[in-house]
Each structure stands twice: as structure tokens, then as C-alpha cells.
């Protein structure tokens, strides 16, 4: 199994061009999972069944692993077994586990539309920092980009007249992301005040700290947490929660899954499909509440 893992990681790096950070994340997730399987005598890929994967995820959950980390481990396992099936190293891909009811509890938490509105109303001041913070949250939600992509967003990547951003994602892959009117207005308001933060006058990244340096991921995290607290939202608020909500709300509006995949920058649609299950949860709830024979 360890040799197969080495070959899988080499394939992801050489053939798919994934970044070193992504490869390291896959490695960490899969080493842990394969150790779990080996301890139970499952030392060949063909001996692993869906129930073993579900048991592993539930044990991780019981150990206190965060929902986002659980979801990422599930994606890593899916990608590994999909590779094995494609290379005819196993008879078939057993990792269509997201259909299983026991996995529904592992899906990411989301903000509803009202919570998003409250979050976006937190930073309403006219100072450069208030404008920056509002624009930052608007862009995170309206474009569904990662915090790391926000930190690296450059002025040359803003095409606001055409209503889109050019974003550099994982593996240095570039993608085009539409930006809606409210987020565009907030971003333009921030850009008017941005020269007051750009002390050198030569900063190329869009979002700057009070000292004129690029805003860090840690600071973005702090600001989003602060906004959640001020909005009175009793959920574990973090930048990626806005990305999850972006994708789920698009799906609620009947957006095509392939389009959502492209906007999120997912290399594989299996990663995007997690949001279809979030949506199905909502549909089942509506059916249960309103159908006379539910």
C-alpha cells in the first residue's frame, strides 16, 4: 500500500501538476488512513471495503477532527482509490461513499442567507480599514475564493469593468471568477481608499495591512472571526465557511455543478459533489415539512 501511495503522489505531482502543499496534504491524510487499515489487517487495496472507510471517518470524528478536515480526508481517500481503479490495481472504485447516510454528518457547515447578510453588514465604516474589511468579506463570499487566493490577488487581476477577477489557485493555476454588483461596489470603494494604506505606492497585491504589507491569511482569518462575533452568528466562522456557502447557495439557485467546479477551481468534480449532498439535505427537509405524506 505504501508503494501504491508513492506512485499515486508521483502521479498527482507530475501528471496533474498539484502544488507541493496539496501533495503534502494528500500524503498526511492517506498515511493516517492506510495505517488505520493496516492495523486491521487490510494491507492490500482490494481488501478495503466501504464500511472500513466509513468506520475510519467516524473514528476520526470521534477523536475530534474538524468537519473540514474530515471532508478533506474523504476526498483524499476517494482520489487514491479512483487512481487505483483507473490503473487496474483494484477491480472497481469502492469510494462512492458520499451516498451513504453515515457520511452526511461529515458535510461542511454552512451560513444561511440571513447569516451572510448579517456578516456583510458588520463593516460599514468609511475608513480605509473598514472599507477593506467589507470588500474582503464580500469577495470571499461573492467569488468563493480561498483565503490564500485573496492574499495573492493582484491589481492586474481585477477586471471590474468586465465584472470578473483573475485568480491564481492551487498549483499556480489561473482561473476566471465572476464578481457580482454588490461585491464590485465594495471593492471599488476600498480601491478609492487603498492609496492611504499603500505607503510605498508600489504594492501590487490588492488587500493591504495598515502598514502597507500584503494582508496575511492569519489576519484574514482573525477578521472573519471578528465579523462573525459582531454579527452574533453562533457558528464556527472561518474564511472557508464563506466558500462553502458560496457553492451551496449557487447550487440552491440551480447552477450547473460543472460551472461551480470551474469557479471553485476544483481539479476533480468529486470534490465539488459534496455540495449536492448539502442541497439534498435541504430538499429532504422541505419534503418532510410540507408534503402531506412525508
Q: Which residues does the annotation mark as catalytic?
A: 146, 170, 240, 243, 266, 275
Residue 125 phi/psi, 5-degree rounding, is: -75, 175
Inter-residue contact 121 to 231 (CB < 8 Å) = yes
CA separation for the pair 184, 189 (Å, rounded): 9
CA distance 251 to 263: 12
Q: Residue 87 in 3-state DSSP? A: coil
Backbone angles phi, psi at 178, to 5 degrees: -65, 150
φ/ψ (deg, to 5) at 19: -70, 160
Closest to 5 in 3D by CA, of 77, 56, 58: 77
How far is Cα 27 from Cα 42, in angstroms, rounded to an integer? 18
Amino acid at each position: 500500500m505504501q508503494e501504491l501511495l508513492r506512485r499515486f503522489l508521483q502521479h498527482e505531482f507530475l501528471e496533474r501538476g498539484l502544488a507541493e502543499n496539496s501533495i503534502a496534504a494528500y500524503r498526511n491524510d492517506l498515511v493516517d488512513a492506510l495505517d488505520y487499515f493496516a492495523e486491521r489487517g487490510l494491507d492490500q487495496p482490494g481488501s478495503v471495503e466501504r464500511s472500513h472507510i466509513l468506520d475510519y471517518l467516524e473514528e476520526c470524528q470521534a477523536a475530534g477532527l474538524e468537519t473540514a478536515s474530515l471532508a478533506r480526508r474523504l476526498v483524499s481517500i476517494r482520489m487514491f482509490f479512483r487512481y487505483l481503479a483507473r490503473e487496474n490495481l483494484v477491480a472497481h472504485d469502492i469510494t462512492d461513499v458520499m451516498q451513504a447516510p453515515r457520511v452526511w454528518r461529515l458535510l461542511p457547515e454552512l451560513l444561511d442567507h440571513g447569516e451572510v447578510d448579517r456578516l456583510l453588514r458588520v463593516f460599514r465604516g468609511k475608513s480605509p480599514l473598514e472599507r477593506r474589511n467589507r470588500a474582503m468579506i464580500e469577495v470571499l463570499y461573492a467569488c468563493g475564493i480561498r483565503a490564500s487566493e485573496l492574499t495573492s490577488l493582484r491589481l492586474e487581476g481585477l477586471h471590474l469593468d468586465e465584472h470578473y477577477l483573475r485568480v491564481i489557485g492551487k498549483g499556480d493555476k489561473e482561473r476566471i471568477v465572476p464578481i457580482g454588483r454588490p461585491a464590485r461596489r465594495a471593492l471599488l470603494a476600498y480601491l478609492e481608499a487603498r492609496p492611504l494604506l499603500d505607503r510605498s505606492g508600489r504594492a501590487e497585491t490588492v488587500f493591504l495591512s495598515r502598514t502597507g504589507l500584503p494582508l496575511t491569511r492569519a489576519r484574514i482569518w482573525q477578521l472573519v472571526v471578528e465579523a462573525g462575533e459582531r454579527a452574533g452568528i453562533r457558528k464556527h466562522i472561518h474564511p472557508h465557511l464563506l466558500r462553502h456557502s458560496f457553492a451551496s447557495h449557487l447550487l440552491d439557485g440551480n447552477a450547473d455543478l460543472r460551472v461551480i467546479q470551474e469557479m471553485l477551481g476544483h481539479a476533480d468534480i468529486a470534490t465539488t459533489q459534496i455540495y449536492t449532498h448539502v442541497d439534498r439535505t435541504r430538499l429532504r427537509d422541505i419534503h418532510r415539512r410540507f408534503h402531506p405524506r412525508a
